Homo-oligomer: A and B are copies of this chain.
Amino acid sequence: REEILKVHSKNTPLAKKIKLSYIARGTPGFTGADLENLVNEAALLAARKNRKVVEMEDFESAKDKILMGPERRSMIINDKEKEIIAFHESGHTLLGALLKHTDPIHKVTIIPRGMALGVTQSLPIDDKHNYIKEYWEDMLCMLLGGRVAEELRFKTISTGAKNDIEKATHIAQKMVREWGMSERMGTISVATEKEHVFLGREISQHRDYSEKTAVMIDEEVRKIVEVALSRAKKIIKQNIGLLNKLAKSLLEKEILSTEDINRIVKKKKKKVISKK
């Protein structure tokens, strides 16, 4: 990545203290196009602030924009909703900070970005190519943490968790259907519908397995999601004080960095949380 950054920033005046190797390390998973985009966005931001050279701060903003979508500060959100969003994001954040196999949280914000009202953004330390079962179990737990936090705080549930539920279901389905991660299903691949368009024509893929298998898939997916939900509830209840602190801090500052989060969660070492 450092090489790619060098190529793309050849004609961009950078502040002297900027180390491309440091930026490269901070952008695992970025493709070549992402990196080119990153340099351009950073240059643009610097230009907008009438700077002659691109600062590290510009690269940080550019990276956030690529990862989380553009900020939409103009969107009006009333205080009640802001509070709900803060607890929702704090739920994700708390679990991301406590669970053993999740990627570290890069940033959490309640300023609307792209289509979302709030964003909790994780970043892996390294490039990863394979993911173990425990990674996905913790990921599911973190995804459902948003709704759990809302429910524990406000005693009701809202449509705000729609996308989290969709993602969680999708991951659980992959575990059962493609990755052989459900013992009951076995080491079997059961294709989901393909959204492939082939030669300008969609290939509509008909279900190729029995209703009995379909029932088993549904039951296994539901079980995996339910286990993740109970874990999320148990862990957040046990750390309800931290949740409140995170939400409060988020309502004040609107953005929390890894350092902010670690200060609140007291850099307590990640611990494995048993599934039972």
Considering the chains assembled together, what is the distance between the CA atoms of A212 and B45 in angstroms?
A: 54
A206 touches B193 (CB 8 A): yes
Number of copies: 6
A48 within 8 A of B: no
* CB-defined contacts of A129 to chain B, threshold 8 Å: 77, 81, 117, 160
B209 touches A144 (CB 8 A): no
| 22 A-B residue pairings within 8 Å (CB atoms) | A81-B129, A133-B157, A157-B179, A159-B179, A161-B187, A162-B179, A166-B178, A168-B187, A169-B190, A170-B189, A186-B229, A187-B226, A188-B221, A192-B208, A193-B208, A195-B203, A204-B204, A207-B207, A207-B208, A209-B218, A210-B217, A212-B215
Q: Name the contact of A127 in the complex, choosing from B76, B203, B215, B221 (C-beta under 8 A).
A: B76
A225 within 8 A of B: yes
A198 touches B202 (CB 8 A): yes
A104 within 8 A of B: no
A215 touches B210 (CB 8 A): yes
Considering the chains assembled together, what is the distance between the CA atoms of A119 and B108 in angstroms?
A: 40
* CB-defined contacts of A131 to chain B, threshold 8 Å: 158-159
B197 touches A84 (CB 8 A): no
Residues 112-152 of chain A, each 1 if its beta carbon lies under 8 Å from chain B, else 0:
00000100000000111111111000000000100100000
Contact flag A166-B189 (CB < 8 Å), given A130-B117, A209-B218: yes
Q: Which residue from chain B places its CB closest to the CB of A128 in the assembled complex?
A: B81
Considering the chains assembled together, what is the distance between the CA atoms of A140 and B207 in angstroms?
A: 24
* CB-defined contacts of A242 to chain B, threshold 8 Å: none
B193 touches A178 (CB 8 A): no
B159 touches A134 (CB 8 A): no
Considering the chains assembled together, what is the distance between the CA atoms of A158 and B137 in angstroms?
A: 12
Q: Name the contact of A188 in the complex, choosing from B157, B169, B178, B209 (C-beta under 8 A).
A: B169
* CB-defined contacts of A229 to chain B, threshold 8 Å: 186-187
User: What is the distance, in angstroms, from A255's C-beta to the closest C-beta of chain B?
Assistant: 19
* CB-defined contacts of A209 to chain B, threshold 8 Å: 214, 218
Q: Name the contact of A144 in the complex, choosing from B77, B170, B187 (C-beta under 8 A).
A: B187
* CB-defined contacts of A201 to chain B, threshold 8 Å: 197, 201-202
A78 within 8 A of B: yes
Q: Name the contact of A156 in the complex, choosing from B133, B156, B170 (C-beta under 8 A).
A: B133
Considering the chains assembled together, what is the distance between the CA atoms of A209 and B229 in angstroms?
A: 21
Considering the chains assembled together, what is the distance between the CA atoms of A211 and B209 in angstroms?
A: 9
Which 5 A/B pairs are nearest by Cβ-Cβ distance?
A210-B214, A130-B160, A169-B189, A166-B189, A210-B215
User: What is the distance, in angstroms, from A200's C-beta to the closest C-beta of chain B?
Assistant: 8
Given contacts A78-B126, A197-B198, 12 further A-B contacts (CB under 8 A): A77-B127, A117-B129, A131-B158, A132-B158, A165-B178, A165-B187, A166-B178, A186-B222, A198-B202, A199-B200, A201-B201, A211-B211
